[in-house]
Amino acid sequence: MTTTAPTALGAPSAPRAGRPVQRKRRPGRTILRSAPLLPAIVLLGVFLLGPVISSLYGSLTDSSLSGASASNAEFVGLENYTSLFADPDFPKSVLLTLVFLVASALIGQNVLGLGLAVLMQSSHKPVRVIVSTIVVTAWVLPEIVASFAAYAFFNDGGTLNTMLTGLGIPGVNWLYVFPMLCVILANIWRGTAFSMLVYTAALNDVPPEITEAAEVDGARGWQRFTLVTVPMIRRSISTNLMLTTLQTLSVFALIFVMTGGGPGTDSTTLPLLAYQEAFRFGELGFGTAIATILLLVGAVFGVLYIRALKPEVD
Amino acid sequence: MASNTTVDGALAAAPTTTRSITTADAKREFSIAAPRGRAMRWFSSIVLVVIGIVFLLPLVWLVLASLDASASLSVKWPEAPSFDNFLTVLTPETSLIPLTNSFILSAGCAVVTVFAAILAAYPLSRYSMRINKPFLYGVLFGTCLPITAMMVPVYALFVAFNLIDNMTGTILFLAATSLPMAIWMMKNFMDSVPISLEEAAWTDGASAMRTLRAIVVPLMRPGIAVVFIFVFIQTWGNFFIPFVLLLSPEKLPAAVSIFSFFGQYGSVAYGQLAAFSLLYSVPVLALYVLVTRLGGGSFALAGAVKG
């Protein structure tokens, strides 16, 4: 079992009783048997594989939403990519995306999620139930609603500044002065539940005998945690790091609603840049090049993820 | 235990983790005995309460503002709490048509997805074929694609096929995006249905499709419901896909029309915005509670994403 979570789905790696014995292969039978895969293959091929391939090709053309190149796009080779790297907005956007990924997913959601899961193990039950319900609610809410709630919280006349004024501290226009900080905190608020659930499940699978044995051997609380618990759940940690990264890589609505990528381009991560280039400025080829880069980054993480889950497929 | 919300209830539902709950309980009793353990419990609870309050603040605004006719962006107690905001937005143009559209998109997508996923899961679960492994790897890989990144090429593709502003096209695309996860979940549910009953049916001459319909599907109804609700919730909350692919106001789902409502009246009518947001969120929250009761719960949703 790679991670603890799939247990809820009926133990995928559990040996199945009585898988039909493989008899001599008959090609006709194999085709007949794989026929039910067809609707899924068609859907995935047309609507997922299609755009990926057309993305690779489209990024090599000068296609746009209007004008002469809208009807007959010309092949321009790597021109989109060279102008992309020459554009000062692009490196800045890459950097902002990295900051967003590291601060909100790798550090924020993971550390807070693990912290919450650990605290929940040793807290009073009513507290545990109520707090986990609150945290999960922020996660279950539709993203547009969560985005509005976060917008209202950080707005100049929002809850945060009202509270700071109440404490006698002058507030600032957070969304304007610290746009990245706001969207990072908002993404942590919205996404931590996922890590918390994963780590809660992982911690519950750590046999208490082991931590107790460490306690008897004189390991203190923090030592027990770093030397015993963390190594025991390391696979959950690595899978969770990858999944939160992938989820955060495609965050759009949250930033779009809260700051719109601004002020200027100060919170324009790659998904927003791709959207703006393609739909606001009509540079479809340019936007597609950004999309292709994002897809490639996603693909790299995807391969890592599959390698981690390999035993489940085999 | 089962009446608890979220984590606990979900854990109780998974048979393999029940054991660890009982041992965890034993551990807790063990630590109560030590005074240091009791202090630790209070410390944990207090820290959790503080984090919980911070997480709650943005949500409280949503509820209080929706009841306040003169709501601002800050949390404040409504002077005259009323349901006026809800009554104002409960008109066909503002919320009812968008909510209906959301329902059509989500239900349509969930039906297509579940149908294709059941069909695909059957051979993957029951036969060992050469296509299984590459297919499952492809499906796993599909769960990793950042869909947001794909929207530009998808838009270009939809323009090329003249599918922009087409509900069916949007439903099919939404179904394709949720299909990898659905196939993976469905295969796992199907793996846990014992094969012996089917073997009896096969001996009696029933075809594979007939066995699937008459034996496997009825046996895995809760699993199918979990997948259906899971896809429904995801599609209901999706903003970016309909935002890019649909144009006419009468076809837009609630997610997108809330956003345009915000753009038009947002700076004046925060109360109505909050009320509309709540109306739109309630079905998702209700379905989430339902899926928890069905034995999947938050745990299964997290597990689903984990593979």
What is the predicted pLDDT for the residue at A72? 65
What is the predicted pLDDT for the residue at A314? 62
Q: Which residues contact B266 (CB under 8 A, 6 or more apart)?
A: B273
What is the ipTM score, two decimals? 0.82
Lowest mean pLDDT of A184-198, A208-222, B48-62, name the range.
A208-222
Domains and CATH numbers, chain B: 6-83 (no CATH), 86-306 (1.10.3720.10)
User: A264-300 burial, b if ≥16 CB within 10 A, otherwise e?
Assistant: ebebbbbbbbbbbbbbeebbbbbbbbbbbbbbebbee
Q: Which residues contact B275 (CB under 8 A, 6 or more apart)?
A: B66, B85, B86, B88, B89
Q: Of A297, A266, A243, which Cα lies nearest the Cα of A96?
A: A266
Average pLDDT of the residues of chain A:
82
Lowest mean pLDDT of A109-113, A303-307, B108-112, B248-252, name the range.
A303-307
The torsion angle over the Cα atoms of residues B193, B196, B202 and B208, rounded to 10 degrees, is 10
For each successive 10 residues of chain B (307 residues), what is the average pLDDT? Answer: 32 35 44 59 90 92 87 79 84 87 95 95 85 83 81 86 92 93 88 83 83 86 89 92 91 90 73 90 90 62 42
- How far is CA B141 from its chain centroid? 20
Identify the residue with better confidence: B241 or A304: B241
Question: Chain A interface, mutation test: which of B4, B6, B272, most A Cβ atoms within 10 Å?
Answer: B6
Kindly indicate whether the domain formed by A57-313 is annotated with CATH number 3.40.50.920. no
Burial of B24 (0-12, 13-18, 19+ CB in 10 A): middle
Residue A276 pLDDT > 60, yes or no? Answer: yes
Distance CA A153, CA A182 (A): 10
Q: Of A306, A186, A88, which Cα lies nearest the Cα of B306?
A: A306
Chain B, residues 6-45, CB within 8 A of chain A, namely 6-8, 10-11, 13-14, 16-17, 20-21, 23-24, 26-28, 30-31, 37, 40-41, 44-45
Domain residue spans of chain A? 57-313
User: B187-213 burial, b if ≥16 CB within 10 A, otherwise e?
Assistant: bbbbbbbebeebeebeeeebebeebbe
Distance CA A137, CA B298 (A): 10
What is the predicted pLDDT for the residue at A108? 93
What is the predicted pLDDT for the residue at A265? 86
State the average pLDDT over residues A169-181: 88
Question: Chain B interface, mutation test: which of A3, A49, A131, most B Cβ atoms within 10 Å?
Answer: A131
Chain A, residues 26-45, CB within 8 A of chain B, namely 30, 33-34, 36-41, 43-44
The H or E element that residue A174 is part of is helix A174-177
| Record: contact A144-B239, CB cut-off 8 A | yes
- Cα A235 to Cα A10, A231, A277: the distances in Å are 20, 8, 39
State the average pLDDT over residues A60-83: 70
Q: Go through chain B and tell me how many residues it has.
A: 307
Residue A5 confidence class, pLDDT cut points 50, 70, 90 = very low
Which residue of chain B comes nearest to A131, CA vs CA? B52
- Cβ neighbours around A96 below 10 Å, total: 23
State the average pLDDT over residues A133-161: 90
Residue A8 pLDDT > 60, yes or no? Answer: no
The C-alpha of A226 sits at a distance from chain B's nearest C-alpha, in angstroms, of 17
What is the predicted pLDDT for the residue at B37? 72
A298: chain B residues, CB-CB within 8 Å: 144-146, 149
What is the predicted pLDDT for the residue at A104? 93
Query: Backbone phi, then psi, for A123, in 5-degree steps?
Result: -105, 175
